[in-house]
A = this chain, B = another copy of it.
Amino acid sequence: MDDRPMMRALRGETLPVPPVWMMRQAGRYLPEYRAVRARARTFLDLCYTPELATEVTLQPIRRFGFDAAILFADILLVPHALGANLVFVEGEGPRLSTVTTPDDLARLAPADAVHSTLAPVYETVRQVRAALPAEVPLIGFAGAPWTVATYMIAGRGTPDQAPARLLAYRDPETFDALIERIIAATSGYLLAQVAAGAEIVKLFDSWAGALPGPLFHRYAVEPARRIAQAVRAAYPEVPVIGFPRGAGAGYASFAAAAGVQALALDTSVDATWAARELQPQLCVQGNLDPLLLVAGGPALDRGTRATVAAFAGGPHVFNLGHGITPEADPANVERMLRAIRGAQG
């Protein structure tokens, strides 16, 4: 049995001190990240250059001693590998060619053709796993199909994912075919990450909260269930973390039906509710407000200790409720770690 704290928590064990890592722990709040970023011409180059992606993946482990590393990559690499043009515009976010018609869909690559484009990601996984201390597991990840589809349909980030919702209403056949393509590509992508050395996988459904109630099961729970099943069928020992961000009460139905081993909770989730409704079923991960790493001070200490205490009765991986922001102070990350590890350990 793998007795690393992260693996024990994900198996459902209640630990005296929760393992901890942070979403976007390899990111712009770290000066050493910004230095490596400056060596790549574009953000995509950074994702596809194994030596650079490996280096930024390892940086937060060296600096903070987190209990898990997470592959440095982007959720839009799958659409890119399916044939979408993709650029990241500084200060504006991603721009992609759009998929809104059967013809657009027909121009995409088949799901099993993504691996040539994604090969550098698998190489990053291999290099990270080789360089990482044995006691630190490596998390692979992908975007969930609904969230990935919102970008592919709109060609960019949108405040309310309206273009994707409209396509689902107006042309459900095309929408469903796109979701199917992404499910297949994502399953293959995650299986290849595990084959290369990832020991945990996480599925980021960043815009799950924009799904209307009647579509949540079909487009958030079901795709996650199928992808988790594909991973677990081949690798029964690899835990899958779901993250239906903004799902609200939908977290409960996701926990019951998606077949994941852990649920990442967004910042808005009430910890008392989650401890009562979700934690008896599976490990929860979260959910400190990342802005507390900007604010610092006693508010950070109180918030950290309250999160640890709220989830102390069941399996818990400490994390933020959303990615750490560029404005966060690395000294506040140290302070958070002292509050976690000093709180009970």
Seen from chain A, the residues whose Cβ lies within 8 Å of a Cβ on chain B are 159, 162, 165-166, 169-170, 172, 209-214, 216, 246-253, 267-271, 273, 277, 287, 289, 291-292, 294-295, 297, 299-300, 303, 306, 321, 325
Contact status B299-A268, CB under 8 Å: no
- Interface of chain A, main secondary structure: helix
Nearest CB on B from A167, distance (A) = 9
**Closest B residue, CB atoms, query A213:** B270
Nearest CB on B from A220, distance (A) = 11
Contact partner, A166, options B159, B268, B291, B306, Cβ 8 Å: B291
If A213-B267, A248-B269 are given as contacts, then 17 extra A-B residue pairs at C-beta distance below 8 Å, sorted by A number, are: A169-B289, A169-B297, A169-B300, A209-B209, A209-B246, A212-B268, A212-B289, A214-B270, A214-B303, A246-B248, A247-B248, A248-B249, A248-B250, A249-B277, A250-B273, A253-B270, A253-B273
> Known: A213-B270, A269-B213. Is A166-B249 also a contact (CB below 8 A)?
no
Assembled-state Cα–Cα distance A121/B270 (Å):
37
Contact status A271-B213, CB under 8 Å: yes
Contact status B295-A170, CB under 8 Å: yes
Nearest CB on B from A189, distance (A) = 28
Copies of this chain, whole number: 2
Contact partner, A213, options B169, B170, B287, Cβ 8 Å: B287
> Known: A270-B216, A271-B214. Is A165-B291 also a contact (CB below 8 A)?
yes
- For A299, the chain B residues whose CB sits under 8 A away are 169-170, 172
**Closest B residue, CB atoms, query A248:** B248
Assembled-state Cα–Cα distance A90/B192 (Å):
49
Nearest CB on B from A205, distance (A) = 13
A-B contact pairs, 20 of them (CB 8 A): A162-B325, A165-B289, A166-B295, A169-B289, A169-B291, A169-B300, A170-B295, A209-B248, A209-B268, A211-B268, A212-B268, A213-B269, A213-B271, A213-B287, A213-B321, A214-B271, A246-B246, A247-B248, A250-B273, A252-B273
Contact status B210-A268, CB under 8 Å: yes
Contact partner, A214, options B166, B251, B252, B306, Cβ 8 Å: B306
- For A162, the chain B residues whose CB sits under 8 A away are 291, 325
**Closest B residue, CB atoms, query A294:** B166
Assembled-state Cα–Cα distance A253/B292 (Å):
24
- For A248, the chain B residues whose CB sits under 8 A away are 209, 246-251, 268-269
**Closest B residue, CB atoms, query A302:** B214
- For A291, the chain B residues whose CB sits under 8 A away are 162, 165-166, 169
- For A287, the chain B residues whose CB sits under 8 A away are 213
Assembled-state Cα–Cα distance A122/B166 (Å):
39
Assembled-state Cα–Cα distance A142/B168 (Å):
34
- For A251, the chain B residues whose CB sits under 8 A away are 248-249
- For A295, the chain B residues whose CB sits under 8 A away are 166, 169-170
Assembled-state Cα–Cα distance A169/B269 (Å):
18
Assembled-state Cα–Cα distance A157/B306 (Å):
30
**Which of A209, A213, A267, A269 has the most CB atoms of chain B within a 10 A radius of its CB?**
A213
Assembled-state Cα–Cα distance A321/B273 (Å):
24
**Closest B residue, CB atoms, query A286:** B213
- For A268, the chain B residues whose CB sits under 8 A away are 209-213, 216, 246-248, 250
**Which of A169, A321, A325 has the most CB atoms of chain B within a 10 A radius of its CB?**
A169
